[in-house]
Amino acid sequence: MACAPAALAGCSLGSSDQHSILHRHSLVIGVKGDQPGLGLLVNGHYQGFDVDVATYVATRLGVPASRITFRTTPSSVREKAIEDGTVDMVVATYSITPARKTQVTFAGPYYVAHQDTLVRTSDRSITSVHDLARKKICAVKGSNSWRRITDERSIPAVPVDVATYSDCMPLLMNGRIDAFSTDDLILAGFAAGHPDVHLIGAPFTDEKYGIGMRKGDLAGCEAVNRILTGMYQDGSAGRFLDHWFADTGAKLTTSVPQFEGCS
């Protein structure tokens, strides 16, 4: 099978696995549909940093934009969607964790975010993660963010369960929760244009965003890592970040992240 010029780096590895993302005519990519600046479905079209990264990777694997299908993939179903073939890969603020690596092969990270906290501008009682004790916080199904507070740091915050990240903003705005804590890029996207909320600017984790694919697709993973390196070296990553977050106040990193290694 002949390989497109853009995909030569991946072709050198070869792959006989029918589930590999290499040498595909088309790709179905899982993204978020409710995260401004990252993955947002607007009038039938997906847009955001994750969408730009996914498109960059796919085109360099030899799959043009016209043969990419984006599919909304909430946090709660990412592993299942990969395992059952609903999507070929996931680019959806998908933090690499030891537990997830037992089910999914991750390329990247393509960006390292940091968990921070969004509060109402009028609330001056929360200036660090420790101030979330006995405060109501948003707990998105399938996300680890709230557990990094209650479980990892043993801070007795009060989780309020919701299905998706977009459910958190109205709860914060109307006072039903006190804080919305997750990755700073996610929060920056939601906070854009809302002067009545602000990031406290007290990050406390590294969130390594990976590109999830079928467990064991090492050739595909290694090819994607080379593509991601090129994305930073040619300035595309910086342009994507500036386009979506330059006016949000988020502290952006435009150097190549240290990759986790494929496994």
Note the pLDDT of residue 53.
Answer: 98
Mean pLDDT for each 10-residue chunk of the chain (263 residues)?
38 55 96 96 97 98 98 95 97 95 97 96 96 97 93 97 93 97 94 90 94 97 98 97 88 92 91
Note the pLDDT of residue 193.
Answer: 82
Note the pLDDT of residue 246.
Answer: 87
Statement: the pTM of the whole predicted model exceeds 0.85: yes
Note the pLDDT of residue 4.
Answer: 38
- Give me the domains of the chain, ranges plus CATH numbers: 5-111+208-245 (3.40.190.10), 115-199 (3.40.190.10)
**CB 181, CB 222: distance < 8 Å:** no
Q: Is 182 helix (H, G, I), strand (E, B) or coil?
A: strand
Distance of CA 43 to the CA centre of its chain: 21
Note the pLDDT of residue 148.
Answer: 95
Q: Measure the CA–CA gap between 104 and 92, rounded to whole angstroms.
A: 14
Note the pLDDT of residue 17.
Answer: 63
Note the pLDDT of residue 247.
Answer: 80
Q: Measure the CA–CA gap between 207 and 217, rounded to whole angstroms.
A: 23
